[in-house]
Amino acid sequence: MRAQVLKAYGGPEMLQLADVERPAARSGEVLIRIRATSINPVDIKIREGLPIGPELPAILGADLAGTVEAVGTGVDDFNVGDEVYGCAGGVKGVGGTLAEYIAADARLIAPKPRALTFREAAALPLVSITAWEAIERIAPKKGEAILVQGGVGGVGHIAVQLAAIAGAVVSASVGTDRDFEKARSFGAANVIDYKNDPVASFVQRITGGRGFDAIVDTAGGQNLVKSFEAAAVGGRIATTNSRASVDLGQMHGKALSLHLVFMLLPMLSGEGRDKHGRILREIAALADRGLLRPHVDPERFTLETAADAHRHVSSGKSKGKVVIEVD
């Protein structure tokens, strides 16, 4: 099969198209013909050397949408010909999705949303599972004031939709004026320009100074401190990016709770993989009901131009999830 192979860490030029042996479905696995995959920021970091990636030479890529080609022993939920999607590769111990085929753990995949194309479905798995777990941790209630930091980003735009589905009054922070309408289209009642709108100002304007009941922070780092400032007393915060040293003083002063989401952990540890499949089934149901949709970048890429897709993501100019069409 054809695959993009990473032979050394570094820039996008380190990805090389090659012919490699097609995997076979072992017990508990399904062999999937990949129709589309998408790029996540963690794929860029792994390509550059983040030590959670597969051993070199490696096939990167986590997300997929495709068709089941073969079913391993012990798999009862899928049949040859089923259209599926999932986040099933690109880290230590598993194959990658920048390829024509992958042998995927059946627990990590689910039937593809019928209402979406393969291209659209491939944009969803990693960000949707991450957003689902973040929303699950903060457990928004109907009418609560919820803030999503990075509201049109990969995880953020799904978190906005899930919080709105839960009945919360959602506010989203964005980086540019052109993202205001996009955030509103996902269900944000209020949109914040995080570069120019001070925390105290938007907290007063939106919550009357009380603060937000719960916050999903996709920016992380020092932005966590801004989330602490924006939270109400007893507020709940879930972050997808906590690799930073921050002052927890405001957390203590407000008795906040902080939840860390590391979506790739089940793939790395082998524990909790069933939950990912269950979440993807819930996401598919919402998509099929027209309640949730992915934000896909309009640029088109193929397996041959995967390095250009990586460059597009790294440029910061992408507008939505960057998808690579494999077949």
- Among candidate residues 260, 286, 305, the one where a domain is terminated: 260
Environment class of 92 (CB within 10 Å of its CB; exposed 0-12, middle 13-18, buried 19+): middle
| Mean pLDDT, the chain, whole residue set | 96
Q: What ranges in the chain are assigned the alpha helix state H?
A: 41-48, 118-122, 125-138, 154-165, 180-185, 199-207, 223-230, 249-254, 265-269, 273-288, 306-315
- Residue 226: CATH number of its domain: 3.40.50.720
- Identify the pLDDT of residue 53: 94
Q: Is the dihedral of CA 112, 113, 114, 119 positive or negative?
A: negative
- Identify the pLDDT of residue 147: 98
If asked whether residues 59 and 171 sit together in one domain, one would say: no
Q: What is the residue whose two structure tokens read 């506010």? A: 171
If asked whether residues 115 and 132 sit together in one domain, one would say: no
Q: Phi/psi zone of residue 307: left (φ > 0), alpha (ψ -120 to 50 degrees), beta?
A: alpha
Terminal CA-CA length for the chain: 12
If asked whether residues 27 and 110 sit together in one domain, one would say: yes
Residue 106 identity: A
- Identify the pLDDT of residue 320: 92
If asked whether residues 141 and 119 sit together in one domain, one would say: no
Section 246-270 average pLDDT: 93
For residue 245, pLDDT beyond 90: no
- Identify the pLDDT of residue 176: 83
* 169 SS3 class: strand
Q: Phi/psi zone of residue 221: left (φ > 0), alpha (ψ -120 to 50 degrees), beta?
A: left
Pairwise CA distance, residues 304 & 299, whole Å: 14
Host domain of residue 7? 2-124+264-325
Rg (CA), the chain: 20
**Tens digit of pLDDT for each residue in 224-240?**
999 999 999 999 999 99
If asked whether residues 167 and 251 sit together in one domain, one would say: yes
If asked whether residues 29 and 89 sit together in one domain, one would say: yes
- Among candidate residues 230, 245, 260, the one where a domain is terminated: 260
- Residue 7: CATH number of its domain: 3.90.180.10
- Identify the pLDDT of residue 220: 83
- Among candidate residues 260, 280, 296, the one where a domain is terminated: 260
Question: What is the domain count for the chain?
Answer: 2
**Tens digit of pLDDT for each residue in 123-154?**
999 999 999 999 999 999 999 999 999 999 99
